[in-house]
């Protein structure tokens, strides 16, 4: 499932291919679903019992990528980034433009001046080479305003997985598996569009759900690298799902965090705190809806995030899925104990 989802094209605003895969997977799982005007996919699965709590799970379908801004007389494609991409990782990367392979290029080091070698080029100073002989040839493949993305295949090595768009196809994969099971809570799952360009889809997708709790499932930064001091590593690959307390978009609800920790300890599920307040996700939009929704985030640590070679540990993915399932089980049991 994760292989299918990460190999699919889904730059922000172009999530159709990803959404179609998800619909094919959940169409027979007993959930009702709809697509709203923005393109969000919203699925609802009723609880096995009456008067159950309602839990909203949320993940986003989109990935970072590029948009064509110009085509040169020589047939090269100029572009801007869509979402947050560090220009340092772009040089020599493979991309796919409307099905055509391309490479992000730059003048070779042999021909660069000393000043140019010291300077890191900006994204709009780079170009994509699709092997076109001239502008007319290139325009038969792409036009201004077309979106395109990284060309990178899902690969497993050791206990790790490498893929583009782990942020946040991993969250989508977890929600698909959860929708295939029965729960003692009313389950609302929103597969959101355009998270990478301002949490846009989540501002619409969760409206009207009125959940008791909301849980955002994400891929988050992992900086456990040799050159980084341990106190600055944010999360550690292999140490389990990451619970966020505060970031630049939202403050996690303390009650939900405590419930997640209790669920993890009861089941011996590995978990860790996200040790940074940088970044943000759809929790920032969801927590402000309907006069305020109790919201928290649970994430899988991903090295080299927002790149074509994001890397995660298989056990962290499993820990995140198991912890979300444990949280839902406990929410359902709470109802039984109160009856």
- Spatial separation of the C-alpha atoms in residues 130 and 41, rounded to whole Å: 33
- Spatial separation of the C-alpha atoms in residues 312 and 299, rounded to whole Å: 11
Structure tokens at 237: 């690959």
Q: Which of 15, 25, 63, 195 is catalytic?
A: 195
User: What are the start-end ranges of the H helices in the chain?
Assistant: 2-7, 16-26, 114-118, 135-139, 166-179, 202-205, 254-267, 283-286, 314-338
To which residue do tokens 């198991």 refer?
322
To which residue do tokens 């085509």 refer?
71
Tally of helices (H runs) and strands (E runs) in the chain: 9, 17
- Spatial separation of the C-alpha atoms in residues 184 and 180, rounded to whole Å: 13
Instruction: Please give the helix or strand (H or E) that residue 154 lies within, else none.
Output: none
- Spatial separation of the C-alpha atoms in residues 236 and 222, rounded to whole Å: 6
The yes-or-no answer on residue 334 being catalytic is no
Q: Which of 28, 29, 25 is nearest to 8 (CA)?
A: 25
User: What are the start-end ranges of the H helices in 92-134?
Assistant: 114-118
In 106-166, DSSP assigns E strands to 127-129, 147-150, 155-157, 160-163
Task: Point out the residues that are catalytic.
Answer: 195
């Amino acid at each position: 499932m994760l292989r299918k989802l990460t190999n699919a094209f889904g730059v922000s605003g172009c999530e159709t291919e990803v959404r179609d895969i998800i619909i094919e997977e959940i169409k027979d799982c007993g959930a009702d679903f709809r697509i709203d005007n923005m393109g969000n996919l919203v699925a609802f699965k009723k609880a096995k019992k009456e008067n159950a709590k309602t839990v909203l799970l949320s993940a986003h379908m989109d990935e970072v990528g590029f948009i064509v801004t110009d085509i040169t007389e020589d047939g090269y494609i100029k572009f801007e980034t869509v979402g947050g991409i560090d220009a340092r990782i772009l040089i020599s990367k493979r991309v796919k433009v409307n099905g055509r392979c391309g490479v992000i290029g730059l003048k070779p080091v042999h021909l660069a001046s000393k000043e140019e070698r010291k300077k890191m080029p900006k994204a709009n100073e780079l170009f994509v080479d699709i092997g076109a002989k001239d502008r007319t040839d290139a325009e038969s493949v792409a036009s201004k305003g077309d979106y395109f993305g990284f060309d990178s295949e899902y690969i497993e090595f050791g206990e790790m997985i490498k893929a583009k768009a782990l942020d946040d196809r991993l969250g989508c994969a977890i929600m698909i598996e959860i929708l295939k099971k029965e729960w003692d809570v009313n389950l609302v799952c929103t597969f959101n569009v355009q998270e990478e360009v301002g949490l846009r889809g989540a501002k619409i997708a969760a409206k009207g759900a009125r959940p008791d709790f909301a849980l955002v499932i994400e891929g988050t930064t992992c900086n456990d690298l040799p050159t980084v001091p341990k106190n600055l590593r944010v999360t550690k690959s292999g140490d389990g799902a990451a619970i966020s307390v505060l970031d630049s978009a939202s403050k996690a609800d303390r009650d939900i965090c405590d419930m997640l920790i209790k669920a993890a300890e009861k089941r011996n599920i590995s978990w860790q705190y996200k040790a940074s307040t940088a970044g943000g996700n759809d929790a920032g939009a969801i927590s402000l809806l309907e006069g305020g929704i109790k919201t928290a985030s649970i994430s899988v640590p991903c090295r080299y995030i927002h790149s074509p070679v994001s890397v995660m540990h298989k056990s962290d993915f499993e820990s995140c899925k198991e912890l979300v399932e444990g949280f839902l089980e406990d929410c359902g049991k709470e109802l039984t104990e109160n009856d």
